[in-house]
Each structure stands twice: as structure tokens, then as C-alpha cells.
Structure 1
């Protein structure tokens, strides 16, 4: 197993020159710098909006809630409410969802050996969305706050099993064929979701359609525990299996020769990705292309070793989605532009650029 990172790095050796070479040898510094950028971006995200709030007020409000009496309250109750109850949960949710989707994209690109894999293309997002649609329009919150993430996770997991089953029935269990099966299943699941919207209450359907475009405006403190818990558990599991993911990029036969049960490990990764995607989609709606873009950007900078790709993808994904949400709030104030429009526009352009780059390299 010890040779895996070396081989993976060598495959990207021609990409590593100048600053990239320095970054490869100073990854902890890069992680620390990205963490600081994330905190700064989140603080700016709380400050920016239809009502601008000074940064010192933002930090003051946060300090007053975390340690009551530690600072003198010089701001109005309205600003306190905007910072603590509206914007801070929103930017935290954005960071969690961005990190989760980026981790899912990176992991799927490894186990499917397809650079275009992400939770949206494989149908996992569509399955999670279908589960949420069933809750919002037909079932209701039968399990309280946990209803939405439970149904979204079940939808994502069932879709994952359907994709694997469809690939097996068509005798196309290879990694690249698995992606094609995912795309086909995604169309079917999306159609089922559209039928669910059509048959639901028209007034509620309007809310669901907005949610389907992606957004963080409904974030609440009481709900953050679900996506945060999924990220902590599944994210740690994926990062702890970074060497396995390195092996999977070499192919099933090579991974098996190194003692990794390729099929079983791929299924385990799919389950972890379903949990992450379900928890994210349940509270943010369908946000596409984050899982496709971010791992590619990270690999362009630090190479293909998943011990670096996974934690850096999580940080960059968090920064990207918080920044995208900030942009969505200021384009047409006081209205919120659905964040899925922003990520879809940026991701579509990136997708075309990636296809062009792959074509020129091929």
C-alpha cells in the first residue's frame, strides 16, 4: 500500500512545476490557509446582504451568544436576530453542504474511475430530492425534524442500489458503465419527482420548485446537526480510506491485488456518499456541479493523492458554496437568487472547459 501515493503522484508529475511543487511539500500550510479563508468568507457572508452589518458587530453578536456578558451590546435586537438566527446558520449550512458535495464528488470519481462523476450525474441527488418531495408534498413531517433527512437519505440510498442493480442486470459492472447506468436511472428518478410535484398541492409545489433549484435560506440551528453529523462521520471515514481510494483509481484488478475487495469497497463508498448527499439535499435542495468541479480544481494544484485531495476538496467546496450563496444574495436584493442557478452556471462553463481539456489531451 505504501507505493500507492507515489504512483499516483507520478501520474501528475508533469503538472507539478514551480508553485505547485512548493504546495505539494507544504500541504499543512495550505490547509491552514484555506481554513482561515473559509472563516473569513463565512464572516463576510454574515455581514453581506440586503441589510449590511459591520464585521465588528457580527463578531460581537457571536461572542455575546457564545459567552453571554463577555461584550457590551451596542447593536439593536433586529441586527442580533439577523446575524444569529438568519445568516449564521445559513453560512454554516453552506460550508457543510459545500464540503459534503465536494467529498462525494472526489470519492465517486475514484471508485468509478470517471472524471465526470458527481452525485448529480449518478442520480444520487435525484433520489434524495425524490425523498424530500414525498415528505414536503405527500407525507408531512411524520418523524419531526428528522423526517426530511431520513427520507432524503433513503431516496439517495435506494437510487444507489438501483444504479448498482441496473448495472449488474445489464452486465455492465465496470466503473465507466456504472456511470451510464447512473445517468439513465437519474432520468427515471427525476421523472418520478416531477410526477410527485404534479400530483401534489399546487401551492406547496411552488415552494418545492424553488427548493429544487437549491438554496440555503431555510437554514435553522435545530437542523444543522443532521448534515454536520453526516459530514463528521462519513467525511472522516472517506478520509481514513484515502489509500484505498488511491488504489481504486488504478482499477479493480490492481486494487484486488493490493488486498482491497474492490466491489465491496465501492458499495461502501456509495452508501457513505448517499448519506452525505441525502443530508445535504434535505436542507439545501439540489445543488449541482460542486462535486464535479472542486475535486478537479484541487487535483490540478496538488496532484491525485487522495490523502491531499479529500481534505482540500472539503475546504475548497465549503469556501465555494459560501461565496456562491453570498453572490446569490446580492445580485437582486432583497430577493435571494436560488444558489443552484449560480453553481449551475459556473459548473456548466467549467464542465465544457474540462471536456475541451480532456479532448486536447486525448
Structure 2
């Protein structure tokens, strides 16, 4: 198949999948709304039809369901883009945003807010501290990994591992010192959930997502050159250190914004970019936008499953992504080992 046709087909399938899963998800739940009525409601809001639903269905769709659907698409898309950028920066298909401490740092900020009972930003307090914790932790990992004005990939990854261990110890201490209610809230936050999504939260995240994705796409050409090797990239005019810093900062901003509202959701940034790279090739100009739609589709499908697999239960979405991502990660390890002829 011609590459252009293949790319077009993959993007068309991703967009169609996102639209279909979003509409089905909006109509699914304890108060079911038929798909035809969901479609009619959307058309009515766009001013394309005069059809109206009953007030209860309209309220369920536009006050509860659609905010959650849109937030799910934003978070999934962001995690997919972050994974593509991280794998490009590190030159490693096993990299994902959690490597640089975004998720664990956000968990520290959110846990601190929950245990201390802070409410100085109202309903935005926990997400705001989660965002700040993720951003600060990522910048700390980058600063600690630098030596003589440069940062190496291996040092950056190992520093991330060390800082992640420290943040997990801090979370454990906070849970130990918290009461039962706060402890349960921290555990639920760490498992990941989009149940509390509202339009004000969507409006808060959307600008950061838009800017982050635009900057990531702008870095595509330099990431492609970096794939040739650091020395070759420098000869071609790429400031590798500046590129790495810029990529880490933009990933920190996007991922911290996402997980501050959703909690920790793993493996999306690992599965989506790697799977699409096998389909579309390593070019980031195509891979990053594809990862945006792929991540949105994967998380939307996972959230649909989280709300409908069990009656009157809303499963933690991070648990479902881990159930899918764990076996995929193991398969990826085995595939990498076979292709390289072993680790030694």
C-alpha cells in the first residue's frame, strides 16, 4: 500500500473510532440515552436541527457525560503525545512520561492537598497542587541529571528512577499519617479516574493541551534528526541540549495538566506511540498527531469499559489501562530482546 494512502487510512480510522466511541460513551451509563438521541442532541447544540430531548437526558449528557468524554479525550491524547515525544528524546521505545517523575510528583502534590485538607483554590486545589508537583518534580529530575551543562539519557532515566522512589516514599508517609477517609481518597486518586470531570476542568486543561501539542509538532523535524544520533544531530545544526530541555518541559506541562485531574493513568504513553510507529514509521510529523488521536481513542474505550463492565460501579480507569498495558509491555520486552539477540 502507498505510504500516503496508508497514513490517510490510519488517521481516518482513528478519527472515526474517536467519534464513534465518544458518542456511545455519552449514551452509556445508569441512565441510558439511545445513540440516535445523543446524535440529535449534538446536532441541536450545533444549531443543525430543532429536535430536543427531555430535560433529564439533556442534563445527563451535557452536565455529566460530555464533560467526562471530552476530558477523557484530552487526557488520552496528551499522554499519547507525551509518550511519542519522550520516546523520540530518549531514543527508546520503552520510554513514557512517568520516567521523568511527572506522575509520581503529581501524586505527591495531590496527596499533600488531601491530607492537609487545603481548599484555598476551592475545587481546583487538589488538581492545582498535582500540576505543581508534577512540574516541579520533572524539572528537579532534569536539574539533578545535568553535569557540566549537559544531560545524558541514561543519567536522566536513572535520576528519574531515584526521584520516583523518593516521591513514592513521601506518598506512603502521607498515607500513613492520614485518616481513613483521606487514605481512601489518595488510593482512589492513584488508581486514576475521570468520574469528577466538569466543564470548568476541561476549560482549564484545554489551553495547555493545545499549546503543548502545537509545540510538540513543531519539534518533529528536530526529533527526527536526533534519531540519527546526538553527534549527527549536532552536525546538522540541532542544539541537542536545548531540544531535550524543551521537550522535557513541554511533556511536564502537558502530562502534569492531564494527571492532575485524572490521577495516575499508566501505559497509554507507552502503548500508543509504539504501536503507531510500527504502522506508520518513525517520522514524528505523522507520529505525534497520530498519537494524539490514538491516545484519545484508547482512553475513551477504557473509560467506556470502566463505566459499563459492572452495573452500578465505576472502575478505576488506571486499572484497566494497566491490565492492557502490562501484557503489551512484556511482549515489547520479548520482541526487543529477540530483535537484538539478547541483552548481553
**TM-score bin, normalised by smaller chain:** over 0.9
Aligned residue for 2:267? 289
Quote the residue 1:321 is aligned against.
Answer: 299
- How far the C-alpha of 1:116 sits from its partner, in A, is 1.2
Report the CA distance between 1:182 and its aligned residue.
1.1
> Higher mean Cα deviation, 164-173 or 136-145?
164-173
2:257 match:
279
Give the match for residue 227 of structure 1: 205
What is the aligned partner in structure 2 of residue 120 from structure 1? 98
CA distances 1:314-336 after superposition (whole Å, capped 9, x unpaired): 10110000000111111112111
State the alpha-carbon separation in 2 of the partners of residues 192 and 71 from structure 1. Answer: 55
Counterpart mapping for 1:1-362 below 5 A: 21-67=1-47, 70-73=49-52, 75-138=53-116, 140-168=118-146, 173-362=151-340
Task: Please give the alpha-carbon distance, in whole angstroms, between the structure 1 residues aligned to 2:101 and 2:189.
Answer: 17
How big is each residue's C-alpha offset from its partner over 1:109-168, in whole Å with a ceiling of 9 and x where there is no partner?
A: 111122211112332111122122222332523234554443223212221122223323
Deviation per CA, 1:198-246, whole angstroms, max 9, x where unpaired? 3234313312211210111100011101221111001110011100111
Give the whole-Å Cα distance in 2 for the aligned partners of 1:171 and 1:277.
Answer: 25
**For the residues of structure 2 that align with 1:160 and 1:247, how far apart are their CA atoms?**
24
Contact 2:41 2:51 in 1 (8 A): no
5+ long unaligned stretches in structure 1: 1-20
Moved more, 104-113 or 346-355: 104-113
Query: In angstroms, what is the RMSD of aligned CA positions?
Result: 2.1
CA deviation after TM superposition for structure 1 residue 251, in Å: 2.4
Equivalenced residues, count: 340
TM-score normalised by L of structure 2: 0.92
Give the match's secondary structure for 2:310. coil
Contact 1:145 1:223 survives alignment (8 Å):
no
Query: Is the CA contact (8 Å cut-off) linking 1:62 and 1:84 kept in structure 2?
Result: no
Aligned-partner SS, 2:100: coil
In the alignment, structure 2 segments of 5+ residues that lack a partner are none
The question of whether the paired residues in 1 share the 8 Å contact of 2:73 and 2:299 is answered with yes
